[in-house]
Amino acid sequence: MIWPLSRKSHRRMARIVVEGPINGATRQRVLKALLEVKRREFPALLLRIDSPGGTVGDSQEIHSALMRLRDQGCRVVASFGNISASGGVYIGVAAEKIVANPGTITGSIGVILRGNDLSRVLERIGIRFDTVKSGKFKDILSPDRPLNAEESALLQDLIDSSYGQFVAVVAQGRNLSEETVKQFADGRVFSGEQALGFGLVDELGDEEHARQLAAELANLDQDDIRPVTLGKPRRKVSSLLPGSQIFSQIQQRLSIELMGSGQVLWLYRS
């Protein structure tokens, strides 16, 4: 698809930042920004990713939207920041090219589903749950009892299915065989320099390097083009208060822990 030269956006580049855990709020913001890129017909998109990962469905929807954008002619380059792991990788492989810093923490290609067995604690303090359910698996991962063998096997099948989807997407996006991807898709994390050796990224460099690469792919003036950032997250009043950075880190960690309770995640865990 060739976009008309008369459109002002033809001479511009879009930029979208995926930051923090990939969840419903992030998905809505990023998808809205991607629609804006499509509407304004930007010829290039710089996708900045600094995320430990997130939920399966949200990562898949962002990936699909990026692929549709590419199908319409937009050149997409991903820039991995401090960390782009698990769900961040899933989104990143939708880009035509990936640039990572040598020290970027990436990888963690895998799936995790975690429940909490608090049965012994609850027994000590005298709390008991009475459960009425429509089927034997309806209370799976309930905190008041451990998993049985049948439940564990069922959940393992679920994880294996999600993992297979992840491997297939990485293999397709990076033009690798699934067997090659499985050699490093075992949940481990690695540096951007190591990722280059695995074929997970194309080049080492910072965000400016990624911007220049996107401009080159879209035949734009590398020296003149400055990206237009779309879908900026709203700054909360609390972020302006003293000590807000520490509070934000605690809040982000809590959100990750809460997401990990009974949900399938593509998530980097420190």
Residues 89-147 pLDDT 10s: 999 999 999 999 999 999 999 888 888 899 999 989 999 989 999 999 999 989 899 99
Catalytic member of 51, 59, 86, 108:
86
Q: What is the CATH number of domain 8-267?
A: 3.90.226.10
Of 3, 95, 44, 89, whose CA–CA distance to 211 is shortest? Answer: 44
* Predicted local confidence at residue 259, as pLDDT: 47
Query: Is 195:84 a contact under the CB 8 Å cutoff?
Result: no
- Residue 20: pLDDT band by 50, 70, 90 thresholds? very high
Q: Could you report the per-residue pLDDT of 22-70, keeping only the tens digit for each?
A: 998 999 999 999 999 999 999 999 999 999 998 889 999 999 999 999 9
Q: How many CA atoms lie within 13 A of 113 on its CB side?
A: 21
Q: What is the mean pLDDT of the chain?
A: 86
pTM above 0.75, yes or no: yes
Q: What are the domain boundaries of the chain?
A: 8-267
What is the strand order of the sheet 264-267 is part of? Answer: 53-55, 264-267, 112-113
* Predicted local confidence at residue 265, as pLDDT: 54
Q: Name, in order, each residue with C-beta under 8 angstroms of 99's C-beta and a sequence gap of 6 or more.
A: 77, 78, 79, 80, 201, 202, 203, 204, 205, 206, 207, 209, 210, 213
Instruction: Indicate if 59 belongs to the active site.
Output: no
CA distance 41 to 66: 14
Catalytic member of 133, 138, 232, 236:
138
What is the arithmetic mean of pLDDT over 176-185? 97
Residue percentage of the chain with pLDDT more than 70: 82
Q: Does pLDDT of 245 surpass 90?
A: no
Instruction: Indicate if 255 belongs to the active site.
Output: no
